[in-house]
Structures are given as C-alpha cells and as structure tokens.
C-alpha cells in the first residue's frame, strides 16, 4: 500500500487474475531500445527509492498479472489492462513500467496517442509518430506512488484516428498492440505489522501478491513422521490459498532464514532452541505469531505442542480454523475432528451431487461486460479426471443471459468457447424480430424500455474437450452496421451479462479410468486427491531424509491443496520402506531417493525404468504401437507400449516420474518420483510448477531433464473406479470385439440347441398323438 492509503480500510478482495486481458496472439516482440535514464537512476534505482534504504524492488510481467496473450487495442478508443496489488506489509516508494508496444503506421500523430492509466488516473501519454509505426518499441514510464493503492488497475488505452475527415470508428487501421512481456517494477519498503493471528493468512500469504508463494518452513529438530504430517497440513493450506500462483517450501532444521516470513514447527522445548524468538515452552497445541529476530519487519508463525499429537492438532486448527483465531498466541483447548471427506467432494471440483451455479464459481460482477469490443466473460471450473464418458459424453450447461437488444436484425452473436475451442454461437435478437417465449414475453412487458433482453439456452460441452482445469468463455460480438460516409457513429451503450444462476451439471457420470496416468497426477493430484483430505494416501520418504526430500514432500502437499482447495490434514507419512506392507490399503506417493532407491530393485519387474549407480535403463515406445490399436479410438491416441529398451551410463541429474499398480493391493496406485541426486528431484518439482512443462508429463513414465520433459510410455495396466454391472459388461465387450463375436456365436449355438430340443420334443409329441 502507499503512505496515502495506509489509514483507510482495506478494499474489497478482488482476484488478481480474474480479469485476464485476453486477445488474439500478436507477432513476437522485438528488441527495443530503452530511453536514457537520469544518472541517479542508471543503476536501476526507481523514483522515490532512497539509496541504501531497507526496502527492495521486484518485477512482474503482464503475463504473471493475468494477460495470457498480448493485448490488442482496436477502434478510436480501445482499452485493455491488468490488475495488480500491493501487500499489506509493504509501502510503495517507487514504480516503473517497462512497456513493450507497437501501433499502426496509419495513425495521425496530431490526433492519436496511447494513454497509460493507473486507477483511472493518467500517468503517461505516449506519442505515435509515423516513422515508428509498425515497429516493436519500448517505453519506460515512471508511475507516481501516490496513485497506487492496495488493489489497482493498470490500463493501456489507444486514442486513434486515421483521417481528418469522416472516419469509420471500427476501421482496421486503428490498432495498437501491447506485449504481455511488459514489466511492472515496484520499489517497496517493509511495514511492520502487529503480532495478531487475526491477520492470518497475512502476512505469510497475501492475496494482493500475484507472484509465486515461497514460504520457508523450519523444523526446530529433525522431524519424525508425525511432525511431517503436521507440516504437510500447513503446506497444503498455503497451497490451497496460493491458487494460480503456485507455492514452494524451502526447508531447514534449527535455523531461521535471515530475512522474510517463515513458519516454524517445534515440539516441547524445541521452540527455545531457535535463538531470538523468546517463546515459552508450549502448554498445549499452540499457534503463535512472533517478530523475526533478525528482520523486525517480518513475522514467524510458530506451530508447537508438547508432543506430536498436539502439534498435528495445532496444524489442523490453523488450516481449518484460522479465521477464528486472534491475539499474538492461541492455545487450542479443544478441536473437534471434522467429518470424514467423501470421494470427489473437493471444494475446487464441480459437485457430482447437484448442478453447480456459475455464481459459485466466479464473482457475480465478473459476469457482466459492456461496449462494442468487450472482454471475455470467463467461468473457471475443475472436474475430476476420471469422469467416464463412454456413453454419456457431454456435460449439459443451462445458460441464462441478458443483453441489449439490437435495433435491427444483424450478425451480432454470443460466442461460446471452452478452453479456447469453439462450441456454438447464439444470435442476439433485434427488438422487432424477437420471438420470446411466454415467460420471456411477460418479463419484457414488466421491464421498462431499454433494459436488457433475457434469453436462455441449453448446450452441451463434449467431455473430450475438458482437461483438469477448464474455462468457459463467453464473447459478445456486436455487429457494426455501415451506414455510409459521416454516419458511422458508435453509441457505446451496449451491455451483456451471463446470469449467476446459470448451471453446469456433471451428475450421473460414473468414475472409471485406465491407470497409470501421470497427466491425471500432475494436473489433478489423482488418485490421491479423490479424497480431499488425502485420508487414503501415504507419502513414503527415505528413512533419513535430506532437506531436498522435505522440500519436495511439502511442495507435493502444497500441490494437493492447490488442486482440491482443502488442506491435506489426514495424509499418512512413512519414513523408510519397512511399513509399506501395513499401508496396503492406501495409495502410495513415494520419493525414491536415498535409502528408498532400493524400491526400484524390488519393483523392477513392474517399472518401465531402472536407476542404478552409474547406469540407467528405460523402456521406449515406437509408432508401431499405435497401429495395433487402430480399432480402439480411445487407446489409439494415448497408448504407447514398450517396444525397445536402452541402458546407458551417465552422471546427469535426471529425475523420473512413474506410475504403477500397488504391489500390495489390487486397484491401489503408486506414483514414484525417483532420482539419485537432489538436483534431479528439484527438477521434477520445478516441472510440476511450470505450466509449460506440466502438460508434457503424461503416460506411465516421464523423464525430467532440466527444462525438458519426455513422456516415454503410456501402458494402461489396471483400472480404478466402478461401473454398474450392465455398463461394465457392455464396455468390456466393446473393447474385446473378438470376445463379443465368440459370445454371439456361442449365444446363437445355444439358442439353436434349445430350439432343436424344443422342436424335437414337439415332433415326438405329435407322433404320439398320431399313434393314439
């Protein structure tokens, strides 16, 4: 926040990535030449930033702020922008925008320009000289800190004209492009907050901050399995809060980071062993916010207890009841365990019990647009990855919408996409051509002239178009009718909405899928996320874990919370492999590093790879494997069976992610993350956080090499889920056509045999009648 905004109350919470400035992709940005900076700022110092001040500066790109594609500005007054926020524990002292842009060479410089606005206040006006038209340019713009608040909107607006005479306001020469690689740089000073749990999750997580959450977790002493379970609860809570940002958790033992916020987990007198905190020995499950001993502007969140059970209770109380806490410290007197979660009831997933309203998925104010070139209306949703669409292939959506009726019949439409794939187009009716239903007719009579025209439509989304994370996109296209020279004047008074009580419905779908499927694990945490609290999951770490193992485990728990939107407070942690037979009734998530590498030898006949000291082996697929499944359209696109094998020696720090059926119980799953080196394990974690690498993790085995991910195999070995008996028989026969033929022949023979016996008996009866 700025100094001017410190005294006023917090603004209503806005999702930083809710309004994405999406448009058609533009050409790649070139290498612009920045303008010269004053000598005082030549070293990267921002305006208002004092040399040697205790503050810091950071940069975020427009893409990080939600602009998935470059911004396209069209017309005489085209506008687009991004949102950004300022943390509650920081004060902005300087701001600078590094803007990458291009504009039409047909613009008239004396009448045209590009404006930069922050919170509707103009902070810069950029001229558009003809000699630079059509080039990739960069401009550095200093933004006054006084215009920046807690939640902010940065808009880029084109004021464009191409002729001194009558002009077409929608002419194709009126354009400008703003790259989503443009950078916003902020200089901030820390702001010390009081130690009060009522602020939680701030300052440890702040929804105003669009960057990835990096939260150090410190153990007072080397943790046992129970302490790791408590830490997993905390990291999954932060992961759920972080959402689209992602979260990572650097780990240390007995040592606080020198600067920044941190979380500490301690048993008994372990709190006192962390120098400088000055906290007493806990008398029960305790949650405390303390000042960082070496960084007074930062906080330490201490979770403690006299034993492991109390530590787990304190962690669960934090994750499930933080909204009720207050004061610098809270000792939990009683915490009632929540009811067991039911399969597929993750808060972030569509309910399978009832249709879900759009208003439950997105804020109602995000479902309205205005103007002739409006932004998209976006509705994000997640579905379980094991929806069975063999016979029921489409998800019904009942859409209710309202719009400004057209003055005459034209080509205006509401275009509907899912994940940027076109679904259908609905015409926007004109008043004179409207043929509403009886109910709509009553509404039209009740509404005064000029109000929005209601409409409704039922359409279906093909299941094969959906991924783990999906977005319905609604675009109002308003046709601009050409009336002739000097008559084309746009009255920008059109509006469109999608009603919050529109619904999407996945009820009636069965849950059944072929495994292993690493895409389901990487994108949805499946099958572990089937229960949102991970009560049927066991995470297996080496008997003597290292810091990299702790960090990887906490990152995985953060990913699970991110997927489900619920803390994984019921997951089981096992150190070493001795307890694996006792965990037969659980799905296993195994970090095969250190001592756990021996599992690769024990399960060698089940794994498509081998990692040994100095040698690596992989089974590989080839294109021929596709040809053997041409009759099965479901397998044809994804199955890549092993056709060859390679073994080689290498000192590289590769990591392997593999899935297999549990050796201990049929129908249970194992996901392995294996590497001989800590660097390899970190590469696998980075791939799970990188959207570009994440989509390459598929099949039953994937190798991660730095910024490269290769999916080697996709061999379906078993199935999870359940179908009703009749559907299962039908499905099984459809996948085994030879068996269906044999069954048909057998059935025909059986019917023929029965007919033969019946006719033979009838003939004998007739003969007896004749003899009598």
The pLDDT score that the predictor gives to residue 40 is 35
Instruction: Enter the DSSP assignment of 446.
Output: H
The pLDDT score that the predictor gives to residue 31 is 33
Helices and strands per DSSP (H, E), number in the chain: 13, 41
Convert 489-507 into a string of H (helix), E (strand) and C (coil).
CCCCCCEEEECCCCEECCC
What SS3 class is residue 96? strand
The whole-angstrom separation of Cα 712 and Cα 620 is 6
What SS3 class is residue 159? strand
Dihedral sign, Cα of residue 498, residue 499, residue 502, residue 504: positive
Report the share of the chain in percent with pLDDT over 70.
81
The pLDDT score that the predictor gives to residue 237 is 96
> Is residue 661 within 8 Å of residue 720, measured between CB atoms?
no
Write down the pTM of the prediction: 0.82
What SS3 class is residue 343? coil
Q: Where are the beta strands (DSSP E) in 636-731?
A: 642-648, 655-661, 669-674, 701-705, 708-713, 718-722
The whole-angstrom separation of Cα 670 and Cα 559 is 17
The whole-angstrom separation of Cα 147 and Cα 562 is 33
The pLDDT score that the predictor gives to residue 508 is 85
The whole-angstrom separation of Cα 590 and Cα 604 is 15
DSSP 347-371: TTBPPSSS-EEGGGTS-GGGGEEES
> Six-digit token pair at 559?
């990913």
> Is residue 527 within 8 Å of residue 514, measured between CB atoms?
no
The pLDDT score that the predictor gives to residue 9 is 35
- Taking the CA atoms of residue 221, residue 223, residue 224 and residue 226 in that order, the dihedral angle to the nearest 10 degrees is 110
Burial 26-54, CB ≥16 within 10 A → b, else e:
beebeebeeeeeeeebeeebbbbbeeeee
The whole-angstrom separation of Cα 50 and Cα 741 is 83
> Six-digit token pair at 167?
């002009």
Q: 649 — alpha (psi -120 to 50), left (phi > 0) or beta?
A: beta
Count the neighbouring beta carbons within 10 Å of the beta carbon of residue 577. Answer: 17
What SS3 class is residue 376? coil
> Six-digit token pair at 576?
């070493």
> Is residue 369 within 8 Å of residue 476, measured between CB atoms?
yes
The whole-angstrom separation of Cα 479 and Cα 408 is 10
The pLDDT score that the predictor gives to residue 738 is 79
Q: Where are the beta strands (DSSP E) in 375-437?
A: 377-382, 387-388, 394-403, 413-418, 421-427
Instruction: Enter the DSSP assignment of 145.
Output: G
The pLDDT score that the predictor gives to residue 11 is 34
Count the neighbouring beta carbons within 10 Å of the beta carbon of residue 770. Answer: 6
The whole-angstrom separation of Cα 271 and Cα 664 is 40
DSSP-H helix ranges across 187-269: 225-242
Chunk the chain into consecutive blocks of 10 residues (it has 772) and report each block's average pLDDT, rounded to whole numbers: 38 34 34 35 54 73 90 89 92 95 95 95 95 94 94 94 85 93 94 91 92 93 93 96 92 91 89 79 92 91 93 93 91 82 93 93 90 88 88 86 85 92 91 56 52 88 88 90 65 86 91 89 93 94 89 95 94 87 91 72 71 59 41 43 45 79 90 83 89 86 84 74 79 74 85 87 81 69
């Amino acid at each position: 926040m700025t100094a001017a905004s410190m005294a006023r109350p917090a603004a209503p919470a806005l999702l930083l990535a809710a309004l994405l400035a999406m448009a058609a992709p533009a050409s790649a940005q070139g290498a612009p030449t920045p303008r010269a900076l004053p000598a005082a700022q030549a070293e990267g110092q921002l305006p208002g930033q004092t040399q040697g001040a205790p503050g810091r500066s950071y940069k975020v790109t427009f893409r990080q702020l939600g602009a998935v594609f470059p911004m396209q500005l069209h017309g005489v007054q085209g506008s687009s922008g991004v949102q950004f926020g300022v943390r509650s524990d920081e004060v902005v002292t300087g701001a600078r925008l590094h803007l990458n842009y291009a504009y039409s060479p047909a613009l008239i410089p004396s009448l045209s320009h590009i404006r930069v606005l922050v919170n509707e206040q103009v902070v810069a006006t950029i001229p558009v000289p003809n000699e630079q038209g059509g080039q990739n340019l960069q401009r550095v713009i200093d933004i006054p800190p006084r215009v920046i608040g807690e939640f902010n909107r940065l808009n880029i607006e084109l004021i464009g004209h191409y002729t001194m005479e009558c002009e077409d306001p929608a002419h194709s020469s009126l354009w400008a492009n703003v790259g989503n690689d443009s950078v916003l740089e902020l200089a901030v000073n820390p702001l010390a907050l009081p130690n009060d749990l009522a602020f939680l999750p701030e300052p440890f997580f702040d929804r105003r901050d669009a960057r990835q959450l990096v939260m150090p977790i410190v153990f007072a002493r080397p943790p046992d399995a129970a302490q790791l379970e408590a830490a997993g609860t905390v990291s999954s809570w932060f992961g759920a809060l972080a959402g689209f940002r992602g979260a990572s958790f650097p780990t240390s033992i007995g040592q606080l980071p020198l600067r920044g916020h941190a979380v500490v987990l301690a048993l008994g007198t372990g709190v006192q062993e962390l120098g400088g905190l000055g906290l007493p020995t806990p008398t029960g499950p305790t949650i405390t916010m303390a000042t960082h001993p070496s960084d007074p502007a930062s906080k330490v969140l201490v979770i403690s207890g006299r034993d492991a059970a109390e530590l787990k209770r304190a962690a669960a109380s934090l994750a499930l009841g933080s909204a009720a806490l207050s004061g610098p410290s809270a000792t939990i007197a009683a915490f009632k365990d929540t009811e067991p979660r039911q399969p597929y009831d993750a808060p972030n997933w569509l309910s399978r019990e009832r249709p879900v309203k759009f208003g439950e998925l997105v804020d109602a104010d995000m479902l309205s647009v205005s103007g002739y070139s409006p932004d998209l209306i976006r509705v994000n949703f997640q579905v379980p990855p094991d929806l069975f669409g063999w016979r029921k292939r489409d998800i019904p959506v009942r859409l209710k919408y309202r719009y400004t009726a057209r003055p005459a019949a034209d080509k205006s439409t509401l275009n509907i996409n899912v994940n940027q794939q076109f679904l259908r187009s609905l015409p926007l009716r004109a008043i004179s051509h409207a043929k509403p239903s009886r109910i709509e007719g009553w509404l039209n009579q009740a509404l005064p002239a000029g109000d929005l025209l209601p409409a409704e439509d039922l359409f279906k989304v093909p299941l094969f178009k959906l991924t783990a994370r999906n977005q319905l996109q609604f675009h109002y296209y308003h046709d601009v009718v050409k009336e002739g020279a000097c008559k084309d004047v746009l009255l920008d008074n059109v509006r469109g909405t999608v009603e919050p009580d529109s619904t999407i419905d996945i009820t009636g779908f069965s849950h059944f899928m072929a495994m292993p499927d690493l895409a389901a694990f990487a994108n949805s945490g499946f099958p572990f996320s089937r229960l949102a609290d991970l009560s049927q999951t066991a995470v297996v770490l080496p008997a003597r874990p290292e810091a990299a193992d702790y960090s990887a485990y906490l990152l995985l728990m953060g990913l699970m919370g991110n997927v489900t939107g619920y803390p994984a407070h019921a997951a089981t942690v096992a150190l070493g492999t001795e307890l694996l037979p006792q965990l037969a009734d659980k799905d296993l998530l195994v970090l095969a590093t250190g001592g756990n590498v021996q599992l690769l030898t024990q399960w060698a006949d089940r794994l498509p790879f081998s990692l040994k000291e100095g040698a690596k082996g992989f089974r590989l697929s080839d294109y021929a494997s596709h040809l053997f499944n041409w009759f099965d359209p479901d397998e044809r696109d994804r199955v890549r069976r092993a056709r060859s094998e390679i073994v080689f020696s290498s000192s590289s720090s590769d990591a392997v992610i593999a899935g297999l059926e549990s050796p201990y119980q049929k129908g249970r799953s194992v996901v392995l993350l294996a590497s001989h080196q800590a660097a390899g394990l970190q590469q696998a974690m980075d791939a799970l956080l990188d959207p570009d690498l994440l989509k390459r993790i598929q099949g039953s085995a994937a190798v991660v090499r730095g910024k490269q991910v290769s999916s080697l195999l996709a061999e379906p070995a078993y199935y999870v889920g359940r179908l009703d008996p009749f559907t299962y028989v039908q499905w099984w026969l459809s996948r085994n056509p030879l068996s269906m033929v044999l069954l048909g022949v057998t059935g025909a023979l059986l019917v023929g045999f029965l007919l033969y016996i019946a006719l033979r008996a009838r003939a004998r009866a007739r003969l007896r009648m004749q003899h009598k």
